[in-house]
């Protein structure tokens, strides 16, 4: 699976495959890390190398003599790569949606097949019935035009933010796109803004969207390389602290998904203390970060630290957000999990865990409904917690009867 998100860079045959990243952060020949800006560029097409040796080798043996022109024509190495990855991602998305979109037409261009690209339709949002079918190219074109309009006419921060959402949120149902459609739109966005100067935050936002898209399509290795490149870029351009914390938070999630739990933990701890420093303990972001950090401790079986952090955070969340808030409920659920999964749990811990879960489930059901994923997750947790308690009670009762039978032997 580690290979799933990788690519044959710049169309080179596999024998010349040295670039493993979805964006080009390495020497095209020897894969030395160059970030987004270091290294020596081909003067014509901007393909990057660690130095002149690799560049010469690429020209003579790597096929660059043939590819340099088409890459230059496309607008440079990064643009060429983005265009290529975009087309691939659109095909994947249209194929995945083929069954769902059969017999439908695009709500933007009104056609079933796109007039120019011949791509099929997609739909991966909350739209149902006959609504929400579209071509990725049409969605992208719409987002690009709307955002450009806001930029050209200086419509202000609010309009810019709203219009930027069109890359990420369906304009009909107002829900985030997901899965391979989000990935295709991530590439669409990156290919649209890759040529912006690095100091332009639009380039960094586009890269951020690409990272999220790749995660959504389960290309986690690729997502990580994009997220890391983006974080490095944000630090270089002096992005606001809040944006950096969001970027670090995404990286932490990806580490976790890749099983790199220690790195995930360290990153989550940094994000948590960063948010506390920025906005104080009672801020929603700080509380969310505390929950993420504590959950990470829990997945590393560091029960005492996890429980201590939950105990510290839960009352703050109750005061700041209220009993019925989703995060407050999530914190209580995770705390209960920490209580009953701890191998050193006492009988009282197990009882407290079950009691907490039942209370939390009732509130969650009332606030979010029985079908909400949080409610169903807590229901599952109740069953596990019940089983743990029953098993322990059985052990205790055996011990008691054994002790009753042989009082003199103790
Ligand atoms: Zn090199
Ligand atoms: Zn070149
Ligand atoms: Zn269309
Ligand atoms: Zn929709």
Q: Are 192 and 144 in contact (CB under 8 A)?
A: yes
Per-residue model confidence (pLDDT) at position 409: 56
Average pLDDT of every residue of the chain? 90
Per-residue model confidence (pLDDT) at position 37: 78
Q: Ligand 3: distance of its center to the CA of 197 in Å? A: 30
Q: Region 292-308: what's the mean pLDDT?
A: 96
pLDDT at 16 over 50: no
Name the token pair of 70.
């088409």
Among the bound ligands, the one closest to the CA of 39: 1
Per-residue model confidence (pLDDT) at position 22: 64
Above pLDDT 70, what percent of the chain?
93
Name the token pair of 158.
């609010």
Per-residue model confidence (pLDDT) at position 293: 97
pLDDT at 98 over 80: yes
Per-residue model confidence (pLDDT) at position 405: 80
Among the bound ligands, the one closest to the CA of 73: 2
pLDDT at 368 over 70: yes
Above pLDDT 90, what percent of the chain?
80
Residues 280 and 387: their CA atoms lie apart, in Å, by 39
Q: Region 6-33: what's the mean pLDDT?
A: 54
Name the token pair of 162.
């709203």
Q: Ligand 4: distance of its center to the CA of 258 in Å? A: 30
Per-residue model confidence (pLDDT) at position 14: 30
Residues 260 and 254: their CA atoms lie apart, in Å, by 8
Q: Region 274-280: what's the mean pLDDT?
A: 96
pLDDT at 6 over 60: no
- Span 233-259, pLDDT tens digits: 899 889 899 999 999 999 999 999 999
pLDDT at 13 over 80: no
For residue 17, what pLDDT band results from cuts at 50, 70 and 90?
Answer: very low
CA angle, 308 as apex, 306 and 314 as ends, to 5°?
Answer: 95
Name the token pair of 18.
């040295």
* More confidently predicted of 2 and 73: 73
For residue 403, what pLDDT band results from cuts at 50, 70 and 90?
Answer: confident
Among the bound ligands, the one closest to the CA of 126: 4
pLDDT at 282 over 60: yes
- Span 76-91, pLDDT tens digits: 998 999 999 999 999 9
Per-residue model confidence (pLDDT) at position 23: 78
Radius of gyration of the chain (CA): 26
Among the bound ligands, the one closest to the CA of 49: 1
Per-residue model confidence (pLDDT) at position 73: 92
277-283 — which CB contacts under 8 Å span 24+ positions?
278/241, 278/242, 278/245, 281/316, 282/316, 282/319, 282/320, 283/320
Among the bound ligands, the one closest to the CA of 120: 3
Per-residue model confidence (pLDDT) at position 7: 26
Per-residue model confidence (pLDDT) at position 8: 25
C-alpha separations of 158 from 144, 147, 169, 189 in Å: 17, 12, 16, 19
For residue 25, what pLDDT band results from cuts at 50, 70 and 90?
Answer: confident
Q: Region 277-299: what's the mean pLDDT?
A: 95
Q: Region 144-158: what's the mean pLDDT?
A: 96
Per-residue model confidence (pLDDT) at position 321: 95
Q: Ligand 1: distance of its center to the CA of 30 in Å? A: 4
pLDDT at 21 over 70: no
Among the bound ligands, the one closest to the CA of 38: 1
pLDDT at 135 over 80: yes
Q: In 64-195, at which residue ranges do the beta strands (DSSP E only) sit?
A: none
pLDDT at 146 over 90: yes
Among the bound ligands, the one closest to the CA of 139: 3
Q: Ligand 3: distance of its center to the CA of 208 in Å? A: 25
Q: Ligand 2: distance of its center to the CA of 378 in Å? A: 56
- Span 201-226, pLDDT tens digits: 899 899 999 999 999 999 999 999 99
Q: Are 9 and 30 in contact (CB under 8 A)?
A: no
Q: Ligand 2: distance of its center to the CA of 60 in Å? A: 12
């Amino acid at each position: 699976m580690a290979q799933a998100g990788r690519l044959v860079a710049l169309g080179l045959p596999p024998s010349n495959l040295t670039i493993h990243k979805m964006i080009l952060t390495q020497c095209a020949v020897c894969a030395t890390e160059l970030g987004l800006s270091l290294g020596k560029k081909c003067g014509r097409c901007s393909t990057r190398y660690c130095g002149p040796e690799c560049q010469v080798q690429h020209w003579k043996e790597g096929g660059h003599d043939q590819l340099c022109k088409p890459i230059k024509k496309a607008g440079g190495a990064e643009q060429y790569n983005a265009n290529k990855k975009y087309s691939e991602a659109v095909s994947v998305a249209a194929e995945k949606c083929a069954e769902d979109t059969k017999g439908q037409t695009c709500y933007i261009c009104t056609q079933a097949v796109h007039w120019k690209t011949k791509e099929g339709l997609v739909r991966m949002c909350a739209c149902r019935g006959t609504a929400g079918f579209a071509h990725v190219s049409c969605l992208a074109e719409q987002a690009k035009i709307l955002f450009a309009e806001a930029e050209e006419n200086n419509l202000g921060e609010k309009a810019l933010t709203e219009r930027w959402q069109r890359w990420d949120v369906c304009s009909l149902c107002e829900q985030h796109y997901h899965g391979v459609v989000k990935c295709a739109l991530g590439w669409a966005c990156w290919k649209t803004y890759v040529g912006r100067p690095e100091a332009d935050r639009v380039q960094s936002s586009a890269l951020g969207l690409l990272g999220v898209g790749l995660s959504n399509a389960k290309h986690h290795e690729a997502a990580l390389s994009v997220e890391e490149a983006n974080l490095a870029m944000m630090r270089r351009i002096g992005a606001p602290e809040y944006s950096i914390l969001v970027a670090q938070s995404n990286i932490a999630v990806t580490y976790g998904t890749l099983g790199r739990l220690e790195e995930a933990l360290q990153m989550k701890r940094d994000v948590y203390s960063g948010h506390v420093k920025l906005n104080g303990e009672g801020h929603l972001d700080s509380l969310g970060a505390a929950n993420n950090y504590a959950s990470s401790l829990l997945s590393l079986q560091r029960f005492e630290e996890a429980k201590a952090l939950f105990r510290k955070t839960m009352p703050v969340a109750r005061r700041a957000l209220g009993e019925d808030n989703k995060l407050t409920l999530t914190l209580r659920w995770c705390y209960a999990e920490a209580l009953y999964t701890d191998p050193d749990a006492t009988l009282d811990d197990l009882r407290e865990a079950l009691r907490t879960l039942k209370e939390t489930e009732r509130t969650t059901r009332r606030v979010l409904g029985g079908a909400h994923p949080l409610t169903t997750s807590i229901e599952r947790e109740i069953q596990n917690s019940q089983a743990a308690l029953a098993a322990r009670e059985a052990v205790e009762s055996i011990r008691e009867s054994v002790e009753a039978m042989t009082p003199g032997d103790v």
